[in-house]
Amino acid sequence: MISEYQKKNGKKAWMFNEYIGTDRTTGVQKYATKRGFRSEREARTILNRMRSDFERGELQASNRVKFKDVYDIWMEEHRRMVKQGTVVTTKRYARLHVLPKFGNKYVQSIDLLDCQRAVNEWSEHFASAKYPKGIAQQVFDYAILLGYIKENPMRKVRLPKRASDLSKLDNYYNLDELKFFFECLKDYNNPKMSMFFRLLAFTGARKSEVLALQWSDIDFIGKTINITKTVSLDESEKAIITTPKTKKSVRKISIDDQTLLELRQWKTTQSQYYLMRGVNIFGPDQFLFTTKENGIYLPTLVNEWLYYLEKKYPLKHIALHGFRHTHCSLLFEMGTPLEEVQERLGHTDIKTTMNIYTHVTEKRKEKTAEKFAKFVNF
């Protein structure tokens, strides 16, 4: 396949990834990859020359290919099969973690030990090394498909067991901690932030789902919120609206009267703010949370809101996603059925819901003896 692509400097160039023949000894199909041609004609000329060289048995050395070159070809295919937000995340992980490890190495020279060392190091920086490992694994699989290697060394790697899985489950507030958080938020006196965190804590929605909410998604009469979209990033790091994470993520969430009241108040406050700036936002397609210029928030920017609060007040540190876990945990504390919690949070796999349920149950068991002693009081 000869195709045009854009370099990092913005200039266009041509590349090819083409079958050039079959090794007569091993029977393995061979592919060649080259980039940086100024025209399609130049790329085709070099490709034809490589095919001729291969036929004469003069191309053995050129079959060695670097990991980063296989990655580039794989990414061109991968981006056609996944959402744009997934492409952005994959490219970020690859740029920061995978390519620094393997990029300049020939895929034929990377072995199991290299892969295990990389995964061990990733495990020290992430709650799970599954994501960077998965990227590398797919690139090696593609190298097999292209005929560069016969086995995938990453598939034999073992993920180190970490205590971080438990700390991930501890990423939430209990009821008293949540109450204190909202007391601090009230003192901070920022209506937009108050409404944003209220929706996170009282609906269990993901931050990207809350940022994608428009006023047309709020049913004030039916007391529900429709989750039908999410905010993501395109490849230029700009905020865009996309479909939700999974089919289960499309859902209708019931909301309480106090949250409805605060939504009405926020709608009025938001309208007054933009009216003073000469911006008309009275349409139903207006987003609930927007920048000063009425643009869509980058999902990463709202992380700073929590950072400001934790810096100003003595709050327990949790990630923004911890509010979703908080909502889930409190639902279980009040006896909500497992299936209802799964549906409300939009979990595709009930195991995700079960993990939180099990953790909450274990925490409750730890307090049983203490509660009994206080009850009998002797």
Domain-terminating residue out of 102, 130, 160: 160
Residue whose pair of structure tokens reads 């590398």 in the numeric block? 136
The tokens of 219 are what? Answer: 């049913």
CATH of the domain at 323: 1.10.443.10
Residue ranges of alpha helices (H) inside the chain are 40-55, 67-78, 84-93, 99-102, 112-125, 130-145, 164-169, 175-188, 191-203, 207-211, 257-276, 303-312, 322-333, 338-345, 350-366, 368-376
The string of DSSP letters for 327-340 reads: HHHHHHHTT--HHH
- Of 160, 180, 201, the domain-final residue: 160
- Burial of 376 per CB tally in 10 Å (0-12, 13-18, 19+): exposed
**Domain check: are 218 and 290 in the same one?**
yes
Per-residue pLDDT tens digits for 44-61: 887 887 777 777 765 554
- What pLDDT is recorded for position 166? 45
Other CB atoms within 10 A of residue 287 CB: 20
261 is a domain residue: yes
Are 204 and 81 part of one and the same domain? no
In a domain, 241, yes or no: yes
Co-location of 137 and 207 in the same domain: no
Residue 229 lies in a domain: yes
User: Are 174 and 143 found together in one domain?
Assistant: no
User: Which pLDDT belongs to residue 61?
Assistant: 43
Query: What are the phi and psi torsion angles at 106 (to 5°)?
Result: -75, 135
- Based on the fold, state whether residues 187 and 84 are members of the same structural domain: no
- The residues of the chain scoring below 50 in pLDDT are 61, 163-164, 166
Residue 375 counted as domain residue: no
Classify residue 44 as exposed, middle or buried by CB count within 10 Å of its CB (0-12, 13-18, 19+): middle
At residue 377, the pLDDT reads 62
Q: Tokens 């990859």: give the residue.
A: 33
pLDDT at 112: 93
Count: domains in the chain? 2
| 180 and 113 share one domain | no
Claim to verify: residue 152 and residue 239 sit in the same structural domain: no
Q: Residue 298: helix, strand or coil by DSSP?
A: coil
For residue 46, give every residue at least 6 positions away whose Cβ sits within 8 Å of its Cβ, in sequence order, or none. Answer: 16, 34, 37
Residue-level pLDDT at 188: 95
CA distance 13 to 41: 11
CATH number at residue 25: 1.10.150.130
Residue 279 within any structural domain of the chain: yes
Residue 371 belongs to a domain: no
What's the pLDDT at 88?
A: 87
147 and 46 together in one domain:
yes
Dihedral pair phi/psi, residue 129, rounded to 5°: -90, 10
Question: 344 and 239 in one domain?
Answer: yes
pLDDT at 34: 79
Residue where one domain finishes, among candidates 112, 134, 160: 160
* Token duo for residue 301: 């920017």
- Nearest C-alpha neighbor of 204 from the set 303, 343, 351, 357: 343
Q: Which domain holds residue 56?
A: 2-160
